[in-house]
Amino acid sequence: MDEILIRPATEADAKPIRDLIFAVQINPMGLDWRRFMVAVAPGEEFVGCGQIKPHGDGSRELASIAVREDFRGRGVARSIIEDLLARNPPPLYLMCRSVLGPFYEKFGFRELTREDMPPYFRRMTGLAKAFELMAKDGDYLMIMKLG
Protein backbone atom coordinates (compact mmCIF):
# COMPACT_ATOMS: atom_id res chain seq x y z
CA MET A 1 0.00 0.00 0.00
CA ASP A 2 1.97 2.97 -1.28
CA GLU A 3 1.87 6.28 0.56
CA ILE A 4 -1.44 5.68 2.37
CA LEU A 5 -1.42 6.90 5.97
CA ILE A 6 -3.80 5.63 8.66
CA ARG A 7 -4.54 8.27 11.30
CA PRO A 8 -7.21 9.20 13.84
CA ALA A 9 -10.08 11.12 12.30
CA THR A 10 -10.49 14.84 12.90
CA GLU A 11 -13.69 16.86 12.90
CA ALA A 12 -12.92 17.82 9.29
CA ASP A 13 -13.26 14.11 8.39
CA ALA A 14 -16.87 13.88 9.65
CA LYS A 15 -18.48 14.75 6.30
CA PRO A 16 -16.18 12.58 4.14
CA ILE A 17 -16.81 9.66 6.53
CA ARG A 18 -20.59 10.09 6.31
CA ASP A 19 -20.48 10.56 2.53
CA LEU A 20 -18.43 7.38 2.03
CA ILE A 21 -20.61 5.28 4.34
CA PHE A 22 -23.71 6.35 2.40
CA ALA A 23 -21.95 5.80 -0.95
CA VAL A 24 -21.03 2.20 -0.10
CA GLN A 25 -24.47 1.62 1.45
CA ILE A 26 -23.48 0.26 4.84
CA ASN A 27 -25.04 0.98 8.24
CA PRO A 28 -25.07 4.78 8.70
CA MET A 29 -25.94 4.64 12.41
CA GLY A 30 -23.38 5.69 15.03
CA LEU A 31 -21.00 7.66 12.82
CA ASP A 32 -19.15 9.59 15.54
CA TRP A 33 -15.96 10.81 13.85
CA ARG A 34 -14.09 10.63 17.20
CA ARG A 35 -14.11 6.80 17.03
CA PHE A 36 -12.79 6.57 13.47
CA MET A 37 -9.45 5.91 11.91
CA VAL A 38 -9.11 7.22 8.38
CA ALA A 39 -6.89 6.37 5.45
CA VAL A 40 -5.45 9.30 3.55
CA ALA A 41 -3.37 9.53 0.40
CA PRO A 42 -0.71 12.21 -0.13
CA GLY A 43 -2.14 15.69 0.32
CA GLU A 44 -4.58 14.40 2.98
CA GLU A 45 -6.92 12.97 0.31
CA PHE A 46 -9.54 10.93 2.21
CA VAL A 47 -9.73 7.36 0.83
CA GLY A 48 -11.23 5.15 3.56
CA CYS A 49 -12.33 4.72 7.15
CA GLY A 50 -13.30 2.38 9.96
CA GLN A 51 -14.30 2.53 13.61
CA ILE A 52 -14.78 0.59 16.81
CA LYS A 53 -18.38 1.22 17.84
CA PRO A 54 -19.45 0.64 21.48
CA HIS A 55 -22.89 -0.78 22.25
CA GLY A 56 -25.10 -0.46 25.32
CA ASP A 57 -24.51 -4.09 26.33
CA GLY A 58 -20.76 -3.44 26.64
CA SER A 59 -19.81 -5.13 23.38
CA ARG A 60 -17.62 -3.32 20.85
CA GLU A 61 -17.93 -3.66 17.10
CA LEU A 62 -15.43 -3.33 14.27
CA ALA A 63 -17.65 -1.29 11.97
CA SER A 64 -17.93 1.16 9.10
CA ILE A 65 -15.01 -0.28 7.14
CA ALA A 66 -15.21 1.50 3.80
CA VAL A 67 -12.78 2.37 1.02
CA ARG A 68 -13.35 4.59 -1.99
CA GLU A 69 -13.86 2.51 -5.11
CA ASP A 70 -10.82 3.97 -6.88
CA PHE A 71 -8.57 2.85 -3.98
CA ARG A 72 -9.88 -0.71 -3.55
CA GLY A 73 -7.57 -3.66 -4.04
CA ARG A 74 -4.58 -1.81 -2.60
CA GLY A 75 -4.70 -3.09 0.99
CA VAL A 76 -6.39 0.02 2.40
CA ALA A 77 -9.15 -1.88 4.24
CA ARG A 78 -6.60 -4.34 5.63
CA SER A 79 -4.46 -1.47 6.94
CA ILE A 80 -7.44 0.25 8.58
CA ILE A 81 -8.51 -3.02 10.24
CA GLU A 82 -4.98 -3.84 11.44
CA ASP A 83 -4.66 -0.37 12.96
CA LEU A 84 -8.04 -0.61 14.72
CA LEU A 85 -7.24 -4.09 16.05
CA ALA A 86 -3.86 -2.92 17.35
CA ARG A 87 -5.55 -0.10 19.28
CA ASN A 88 -8.52 -2.12 20.61
CA PRO A 89 -8.04 -5.41 22.45
CA PRO A 90 -10.50 -8.28 22.04
CA PRO A 91 -13.19 -9.23 22.38
CA LEU A 92 -14.46 -7.43 19.29
CA TYR A 93 -17.48 -8.27 17.16
CA LEU A 94 -18.52 -7.44 13.63
CA MET A 95 -21.48 -7.82 11.30
CA CYS A 96 -20.90 -8.51 7.63
CA ARG A 97 -22.37 -10.21 4.61
CA SER A 98 -21.48 -13.89 4.75
CA VAL A 99 -19.53 -13.61 1.50
CA LEU A 100 -17.07 -11.38 3.40
CA GLY A 101 -16.57 -13.89 6.22
CA PRO A 102 -13.37 -15.39 4.75
CA PHE A 103 -11.81 -11.90 4.56
CA TYR A 104 -12.41 -11.27 8.28
CA GLU A 105 -11.28 -14.78 9.22
CA LYS A 106 -7.79 -13.71 8.10
CA PHE A 107 -7.77 -11.36 11.10
CA GLY A 108 -8.89 -14.09 13.51
CA PHE A 109 -12.65 -13.44 13.53
CA ARG A 110 -14.94 -16.48 13.76
CA GLU A 111 -18.67 -16.79 13.07
CA LEU A 112 -20.91 -16.96 16.15
CA THR A 113 -24.07 -18.92 16.78
CA ARG A 114 -27.03 -16.87 17.97
CA GLU A 115 -26.61 -18.31 21.47
CA ASP A 116 -23.03 -17.01 21.70
CA MET A 117 -23.91 -13.43 20.69
CA PRO A 118 -24.14 -10.48 23.08
CA PRO A 119 -27.67 -9.02 23.37
CA TYR A 120 -27.09 -6.24 20.80
CA PHE A 121 -26.11 -8.69 18.08
CA ARG A 122 -28.94 -11.09 18.94
CA ARG A 123 -31.36 -8.22 18.34
CA MET A 124 -29.64 -7.44 15.05
CA THR A 125 -30.11 -10.98 13.80
CA GLY A 126 -33.86 -10.36 13.94
CA LEU A 127 -33.39 -7.66 11.32
CA ALA A 128 -31.37 -10.10 9.28
CA LYS A 129 -34.50 -11.82 8.01
CA ALA A 130 -35.25 -8.80 5.80
CA PHE A 131 -31.63 -8.80 4.59
CA GLU A 132 -31.79 -12.49 3.72
CA LEU A 133 -34.94 -11.94 1.65
CA MET A 134 -33.04 -9.39 -0.44
CA ALA A 135 -29.78 -11.36 -0.63
CA LYS A 136 -28.62 -13.37 -3.59
CA ASP A 137 -27.06 -16.83 -3.68
CA GLY A 138 -27.65 -17.64 -0.01
CA ASP A 139 -25.78 -14.59 1.33
CA TYR A 140 -26.77 -13.76 4.92
CA LEU A 141 -25.86 -11.39 7.74
CA MET A 142 -22.95 -12.93 9.63
CA ILE A 143 -21.97 -12.04 13.20
CA MET A 144 -18.32 -12.69 13.99
CA LYS A 145 -16.08 -12.38 17.06
CA LEU A 146 -12.39 -11.89 17.68
CA GLY A 147 -11.12 -13.11 21.04
Instruction: Report the alpha-carbon distance of residue 130 to residue 128 in Å, rounded.
Output: 5
pLDDT of residue 138: 75
pLDDT by residue (tens digit) across 26-69? 988 899 999 999 999 999 999 999 999 999 999 999 999 999 99
Class of 1-88 per CATH?
Answer: alpha beta
Q: What is the pLDDT of residue 123?
A: 87
Residue 143: name the closest of 27, 61, 54 by CA: 61
**Domain ranges in the chain?**
1-88, 90-147
Split at pLDDT 50, 70, 90, the class of 1 is low
Q: Which residue has the higher pLDDT, 97 or 17?
A: 17
Mean pLDDT in residue range 60-81? 97
Q: Residue 40: its pLDDT value, please?
A: 97
Output the pLDDT for position 64: 97
State the pLDDT at residue 133. 57
d(CA 61, CA 114): 16
Measured CA to CA, the distance from residue 26 to residue 86 in angstroms comes to: 23
Check residue 58 and report its DSSP letter: S
pLDDT tens, 83-140? Answer: 999 999 999 999 998 999 999 999 999 999 999 999 999 988 877 666 555 566 778 8
- In this prediction, residue 140 carries a pLDDT of 83
